[in-house]
């Protein structure tokens, strides 16, 4: 694995650990954000490993579509609710009207986001080995 791809994966894994730390402290909106970042960086690292310049997008479904276009069996990723994780990535950062992200996300949200991020990380690691 090239140093560039290792850097993307190290950052994805670091974001995952930050998600776990913030989730454990009940900062669920922040955990959701970091779990979304985990998946995004892992998927972009995999695209780079295939010689593809990742699109400038935070849409995890779009990144998965790019991988499918390269002939990768993305079935396990299609089973995840990545659209929700993509939304969490943006909605967990900014207030909407009079509602702060800390009021919109709870333990169930961060648990679901953690699971999805872990599946993405494992999927990418397996393909990179």
Position with higher pLDDT, 87 vs 33: 33
**Selected residue with higher pLDDT from 42 and 100:** 42
pLDDT confidence tier of residue 113, bands split at 50, 70 and 90: very high
Which fold would CATH assign to domain 3-128? 1.20.120
Tokens standing for residue 43: 């998927």
Mean pLDDT (whole number) for 14-25: 98
Q: Is the distance from CB of 58 to CB of 40 less than 8 angstroms?
A: yes
Model-level pTM greater than 0.85?
Answer: yes
The residues facing 99 across adjacent strands are: 96
Cβ neighbours around 108 below 10 Å, total: 9
Q: CB-based contacts of 65: which residues, under 8 Å, 6+ apart?
A: none
């Amino acid at each position: 694995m090239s140093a560039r791809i290792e850097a993307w994966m190290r950052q994805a894994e670091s974001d995952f650990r930050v998600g776990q730390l913030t989730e454990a402290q009940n900062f669920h909106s922040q955990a959701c954000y970091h779990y979304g970042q985990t998946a995004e960086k892992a998927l972009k690292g995999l695209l780079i490993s295939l010689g593809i310049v990742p699109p400038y997008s935070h849409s995890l479904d779009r990144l998965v579509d790019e991988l499918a276009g390269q002939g990768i069996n993305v079935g396990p990723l299609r089973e995840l609710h990545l659209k929700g994780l993509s939304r969490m990535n943006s909605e967990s950062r900014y207030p909407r009207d009079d509602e702060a992200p800390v009021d919109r996300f709870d333990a169930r949200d961060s648990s679901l986001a953690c699971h999805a991020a872990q599946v993405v990380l494992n999927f990418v690691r397996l393909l990179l080995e």
